[in-house]
Amino acid sequence: MVAVIKTSNSLKNSLNYNEHKRQKQVAELIYSNGFAKDKEQLTFYDKIRTFEKLTSLNERTRLNSVHISLNFDVSEKLKQETFQQIADSYMQGIGFGEQPYLVYQHFDAGHPHLHIVTTNIQRNGERISMQNIGRNQSEKARKQIEKDFNLVKAEEHHQQQVHEIKPVNAQKVQYGKSDIKRAITNVLDAILNTYKYTSIYQLNALLKQYNVFADQGTESSKMYKAGGLLYRILNDKGQPIGIPIKASTIYSKPALKYLLAKFKENEPLKQKHKLRVKNAIDLSFAKDSLQRLNKLIEHLNRDRIQVIPRQNKEGVIFGITYIDHQSKCIFNGSELGKAYSATQILNRCKNDLGVSSSQKLNQEILELPKKERSVAESPAALIALTTTKNPEKHLNEENILKEIMQPEFEESPAAELRNDHLKKRRKKLHH
């Protein structure tokens, strides 16, 4: 069993999310605790009013909504009564046994899972501390429940595997706004509170593996200046399709303000995990000092470290992002140290810049077996590793070095599409 705990400032959003699933008949309210009526008689007003009575007792606590998901192995076929007992045991184990809470069983994923909605404000107005609750109380409760109910242990399935997400199928969701929003929400739910990232670029390096992209717009756009954020579905070419979804309309509110807070929170949490990635890279070169880039990627994949070269439109690699799926940390190469930046990694590889073009580097990456191009835990192929758009263009050493020494940046797919559109308009005007 895997437990995921999220906090927010809106009980109404958490409740609406589950009630909406009920209306679509992909979820069912199977248990309630601490309410004046039986679950069958509870109206939406009864539910939200009970929670709001408690939160009004402590207006200083902003994050007063607690939304928990309990995820089970696909092989486990449990009765509703067993799910009720597990939910009750878990809530007792994390110190929420006296709190009002609602338990929903969801049926819209490939594995059995429950969602629990509650508040951390107690009847005396005091708040239940959420600090390290996932690492301490939740882990202890989870292990005891696995033992008591003879469940598949999370450790035996790489912790998160029981609710592994799949890349969004762009062709299936591009025409319906509700489908796009649901697909994006599923990806964000699995990633935002699980991985440690400290920039939009790092977050997008991971989101792109699931065909999703967080778009701020161009620096001159109204959205960028207003601090807005859209989430988009990407097709197999990495281009946005379908209807963009405003971050503010997603129930967990993963807007720019939320992400900036996560960047600050994640920064100190990542530091102790840098050494693992650096050691894995150094060990790979120690074993084979003349290895090519594709071999380095292959070796790091075995250590569950995904390497994503970042390329410009001409295919020149100007940056490298490392996603460590074991520690759930994302690093830029330069963040690990000068020796791990794109320039130095390419120099350390046999693919020396003086003798190899970026086209050759791309080709070597694409020659990797498909299973080696992405970590077992990351189900999508590397979107960033594509062939150059203009393979006939010659790139000499001077041009390559000039490109590589530029500051790392990333242009949004939306901006790229706008540039293509302007080019087409100019052609029409000339004709």
Please give the pLDDT value at position 412: 42
Please give the pLDDT value at position 24: 85
Q: Quote the CA–CA distance of 92 and 107 in Å, as a whole number.
A: 25
**Which residue(s) pair with 324 in the sheet?**
305, 329
First to last CA, the chain: 64
Q: Where do runs of H (alpha helix) occur along 160-232?
A: 170-173, 177-191, 200-207, 222-225
Please give the pLDDT value at position 33: 94
Contacts of 415 (CB under 8 A, 6+ apart): 217, 218
Instruction: For the chain, state the CA radius of gyration.
Output: 24
Question: How does pLDDT run across 259-299, given as a tens digit for each residue?
Answer: 999 999 999 999 999 999 999 999 999 988 888 888 899 99
Cα angle for residues 267, 1, 5 (degrees, 5° grid) = 40
Q: Tell me the three state secondary structure of residue 132.
A: coil
Please give the pLDDT value at position 26: 87
- CA 146 to chain CA mean position, Å: 26
Share of the chain above pLDDT 90, in %: 42
All structural domains of the chain, each given as residue ranges with its CATH number in brackets, are: 2-162 (3.30.930.30), 170-270 (no CATH), 274-414 (no CATH)
What's the mean per-residue pLDDT of the chain?
Answer: 79
Please give the pLDDT value at position 242: 83
Among 80-94, 102-116, 366-380, which is the least confidently predicted range?
Answer: 366-380
pLDDT-based confidence at residue 76 (cuts at 50, 70, 90): confident
Q: Tell me the three state secondary structure of residue 6.
A: strand
Residue with more model confidence, 288 or 117: 117
Q: Quote the CA–CA distance of 66 and 90 in Å, as a whole number.
A: 14
Please give the pLDDT value at position 266: 94
Q: Quote the CA–CA distance of 303 and 308 in Å, as a whole number.
A: 15
Q: Quote the CA–CA distance of 159 and 181 in Å, as a whole number.
A: 26
Please give the pLDDT value at position 107: 86
Please give the pLDDT value at position 176: 59
Contact 9, 63 (CB under 8 A): yes
Question: How does pLDDT run across 312-357, given as a tens digit for each residue?
Answer: 877 788 889 999 998 999 999 989 999 999 989 988 886 544 334 4
Q: Which of 307, 289, 398, 402 is nearest to 348 (CA)?
A: 289
CA distances from residue 45 to 41, 42, 142, 205, 299 in whole angstroms, order as listed: 11, 8, 32, 41, 56
Please give the pLDDT value at position 250: 85
Question: How does pLDDT run across 362-421, given as a tens digit for each residue?
Answer: 444 444 544 444 443 333 333 333 333 343 333 343 443 333 333 334 444 444 445 555
Torsion sign over Cα 256, 257, 263, 265 = negative
Q: Quote the CA–CA distance of 2 and 300 in Å, as a whole number.
A: 26
Q: Is the pLDDT of residue 82 over 80?
A: yes
CA distances from residue 238 to 168, 383, 413 in whole angstroms, order as listed: 12, 7, 7
Q: Quote the CA–CA distance of 166 and 209 in Å, as a whole number.
A: 9
Among 114-118, 222-226, 357-361, which is the least confidently predicted range?
Answer: 357-361
DSSP structure string for 11-76: HHHHHHHHHHHHHTTSEEEEEEES-SS-GGG--HHHHHHHHHHHHTT-TT-S--EEEEEEE--TT-
Question: How does pLDDT run across 183-225, given as a tens digit for each residue?
Answer: 888 888 888 888 999 999 999 999 998 889 999 988 889 998 8
Q: Which of 250, 156, 257, 240 is nearest to 204 (CA)?
A: 240
Please give the pLDDT value at position 356: 40
Q: Is the pLDDT of residue 23 over 60?
A: yes
- CA 215 to chain CA mean position, Å: 15
Contact 33, 88 (CB under 8 A): yes
Question: How does pLDDT run across 150-164, given as a tens digit for each residue?
Answer: 988 876 554 444 344
CA distances from residue 23 to 40, 238, 310 in whole angstroms, order as listed: 15, 34, 43
Share of the chain above pLDDT 70, in %: 75
